[in-house]
Each structure stands twice: as C-alpha cells, then as structure tokens.
Amino acid sequence: MERLKKFIVIIGHYGSGKTTFALNLVLRLADQGKNVTLADLDIVNPYFRSSDYKDLLEKSGVRVLSPSFAGTTLDLPALPPEMYAQADSAADHVIFDVGGDDAGAAAFGGVSKTLGETRDMQAVYILNRYRGFIKEPSDALENLREIEAAARIRATHCVNNSHLGHLTAPDDLMAGFAYADEFSRLSGLPLLCTAVPDRLLDKITPERSDLFGVREIVAPPW
C-alpha cells in the first residue's frame, strides 16, 4: 500500500465493508506506532458502527470520536463539536468512517468544509461487487458520484473489498479482481489495495502485491 496521507475518508455503498476496512486500517497503523484518531460519522446505520468497537480500539491506543448517542439505545445521534476540529489534530492519521451511500455521506459534508483545501487527504471508495445494487462497475461509478456530491468530496482511490462475509471463498475474491480493475478504469481512481480476509491470504493465486489482510471484526448483531 502506498504512503497514506494524514486525513483518510472512507466512503462506499451501504454494506460494502467500510467499517471493517476502517477498523483494520486504524489498528494496523496503531501497531506501526502511529498516533491515530478514528472519527465515526455513521449517524444512519445503528448496527455497524466503528464506535461500537471503542474498547478494542482504545486498548490499541486509538482515539475514537463517536456520534453523541452512539452505543446507546437512542436513535437520533449527532456529531460532537470536536468532529469539526480535526483540521488542527496532532494525530499522524485521522480516519473518517463515513456512513453508507449518499444519505450516510451527507454527514461528512459539514466536516469536509472544516478541512479546507488541504492536499494531505485521501478519499477512499470501498468497492464490493457482491452488494445488490452495484452488480456492474458502471453501477458502482454512479453510486460513487452520488456519494461524492453528498459528502462534498472527490474520491482519490478505491479499495477492492469484494467478499461475502464469513461465506467468502477464494474463487469469490478472485472473481472480484476484474470487476475492480474495470471500475478503476471507468472512474480513473487508482486501486489502493485489495482487502482479503486473513484466513484466505495464502489461497490467492497468482499472488498479488496489493493484498491487505483484514480481520473479520464486524459481525451482524443477530
């Protein structure tokens, strides 16, 4: 994976695996000795929020910024004021885990204005070909444009995260390679990495240099 910038914005289709990728990325950076902040901006989906893993993250030295009511039974979370003050953060990296689709991405619209015109930022679109409404790369591109408009940001990279959860087999992953390559061509976005469950890393043939092993941390609450 190429050198990461200070601000990393994780966007994508609902259910694409944004939170799993964000959690693995911040934990990887923390393991490397980096000062990392994870900002959970998902105020839409109550089931798969990165702030639900606050204990795990803080034990690894990660600072977590959460919606005001995240982790409670209340249904109307709001972003805390410090979420809008990250332009001056002393952290090496601030990762924004943005809600899914354009509805979830809208929450980042206000935050993006506070970051100004910084060039020290990457916006990463998480791509999963197995999500129902983006079966074709062109569908994913349309979804990306909607998210960009809502979040007031332009994506700089994409991540191939094509999987079927705990049912994922090596053939499922390899079937996603051509899909991701075509999306990269259509969108003009370079592929940052290909996320692969740790248990399947040694099953990918031929070997690829862009593999990023992920722990399957996020589990459905049912």
Higher pLDDT, 221 or 160: 160
Asked if 188 and 141 touch (Cβ cutoff 8 Å), the reply is no
The CATH number that applies at residue 150 is: 3.40.50.300
Residue 33: pLDDT above 60? yes
pTM of the entire predicted model: 0.89
Residue 30: pLDDT above 80? yes
Asked if 160 and 16 touch (Cβ cutoff 8 Å), the reply is no
Domain count, the chain: 1
Please check whether residue 83 lies inside any domain of the structure: yes
Please check whether residue 1 lies inside any domain of the structure: no
- Domain, as residue range, for 127: 7-67+78-214
- pLDDT, residue 77, reads 55
pLDDT confidence bin for 162, thresholds 50/70/90: very high
Please check whether residue 172 lies inside any domain of the structure: yes
Predicted confidence (pLDDT) per residue in 70-101, tens digit: 454 445 456 777 877 788 888 999 999 998 77
Please check whether residue 2 lies inside any domain of the structure: no
Please check whether residue 186 lies inside any domain of the structure: yes
Asked if 7 and 120 touch (Cβ cutoff 8 Å), the reply is yes
- pLDDT, residue 48, reads 59
pLDDT confidence bin for 12, thresholds 50/70/90: very high
Nearest to 50 by CA among 34, 65, 33, 72: 65
- Give mean pLDDT, residues 120-128: 95
Share the mean pLDDT of the chain: 86
Please check whether residue 192 lies inside any domain of the structure: yes
- pLDDT, residue 183, reads 97
Please check whether residue 95 lies inside any domain of the structure: yes
Distance (Å, rounded) from C-alpha 60 to C-alpha 96? Answer: 18
**Would you state the structure tokens that stand for residue 100, as one six-digit string?**
């899914």
Which of 102-111, 159-168, 206-215 is predicted least confidently?
102-111
Please check whether residue 62 lies inside any domain of the structure: yes
Asked if 127 and 140 touch (Cβ cutoff 8 Å), the reply is yes
Residue 210: pLDDT above 70? yes
Give the phi and the psi of residue 179 in degrees, each rounded to 5. -60, -50
Predicted confidence (pLDDT) per residue in 170-182, tens digit: 999 999 999 999 9
